[in-house]
Amino acid sequence: MSTNIVMIDASTYQHLIARLSETLAQKVIREGHNQISGPTNFQTDIFISIRQAQNTYNFLHWVHSDELRATVGWRDTYTVACEPLIRNLIDNLYTITLLLQDPYGRGQQFRASGLRKGFLYVAAEEARYKGKPEWDKWIADGRTKLDILVRATGFTETEVMDKKKFPDWPTLGKYLATLPLDAHKKFLATFTFGPWKQYSSVAHGGPEGLHEVGMFLYRDGHLHEQRQLIDDAHDRTMSLHMMRAAILLLAICTEVQVVYKFKDDGARINERIIESWQALQPAMEAKEIYDEHYEQLMKDNGIMK
């Protein structure tokens, strides 16, 4: 039986993209303030978002590694349980690109919205458990930590609680549903259709998500002669997930370099971005995103000629 599946050797991109993301994370935290201005914690928020994406990517590759497969207790189903993490990478891409659109305004909104939710959580816990000794210290400690964070960011509690001044940070779904539908939203919407949509479905445990992972999680419910087919499908499916994770981390790296425009200084950032996209080109999803978005974006911003 012939197939159109394209196999890409992960060794051609795995470490290349991981190291590139670490280079950019370090550039942001060390030199970012020289490239773009933002609130006190802006560079830290971008740095941590890159690091979260990078560690998610590294974890996915570790869980699927041949070395781990050889250890006692490893199971195929554990890799299936990691699928929703690719949805986390989509959210990392969304958060970073939205912050970079308006570093000062979005940067303040991001921090204030998060702090407000923290105060609301503490208030809800206090309303439910107030007067119970085992909870009083927990609630007091939570408020103390929030007070320290508020002072560190230069806000007051009154300011962060003002939703008119600092609206809630939108989820990806809410952001995409808000008009007008600009170029940024059209680009991000790519990751809510086709094969990308399944990650949200799996993460939320919906019926369509369970359909995606069902045969792997219920392998023992199939006939013995069908189980090898499921095992083969698992390997192919996991390879696709790893490749998509690479696309997302590389997209984050590209977006960061587009805005910060770090000089190479021996780091070869632009060259490594180009090399990484070339390594992923045989994959349909990578070629589509590159052709429709990143090729021109990289040309317009001096990453490639």
- Encode the chain (305 residues) as per-residue pLDDT tens digits: 334 555 567 778 999 999 999 999 999 999 999 999 999 999 999 999 999 999 999 999 998 888 887 887 888 788 888 889 999 999 999 999 999 999 999 999 999 999 999 999 999 999 999 888 889 999 999 999 999 999 999 999 999 999 999 999 999 999 999 999 999 999 999 999 888 988 888 888 888 877 777 677 667 777 788 777 777 777 777 888 899 999 999 999 999 999 999 997 789 999 999 999 999 988 889 999 999 999 999 999 999 98
Considering only CA atoms, which of 207, 233, 208, 209 is closest in space to residue 222?
233
Residue 158 lies in a domain: no
pLDDT at 213: 78
- Helix/strand/coil for 244: helix
Residue 177 lies in a domain: yes
pLDDT at 165: 96
d(CA 7, CA 283): 8
Q: How many domains does the chain have?
A: 1
Count Cα atoms within 13 angstroms, Cβ side, for 217.
12
pLDDT at 67: 84
pTM: 0.92
Q: If 0-12 CB within 10 Å is exposed, 13-18 middle and 19+ buried, where does residue 13 land? A: buried
Residue 147 lies in a domain: no
Torsion of CA 61, 62, 64, 67, to 10 degrees: 130
What is the domain range of residue 259? Answer: 10-103+170-300
Residue 88 lies in a domain: yes
Residue 109 lies in a domain: no
pLDDT at 218: 65
d(CA 115, CA 108): 11
pLDDT at 20: 98
d(CA 132, CA 143): 16
Residues in the chain: 305
Residue 128 lies in a domain: no
pLDDT at 214: 67
Residue 232 lies in a domain: yes
Residue 44 lies in a domain: yes
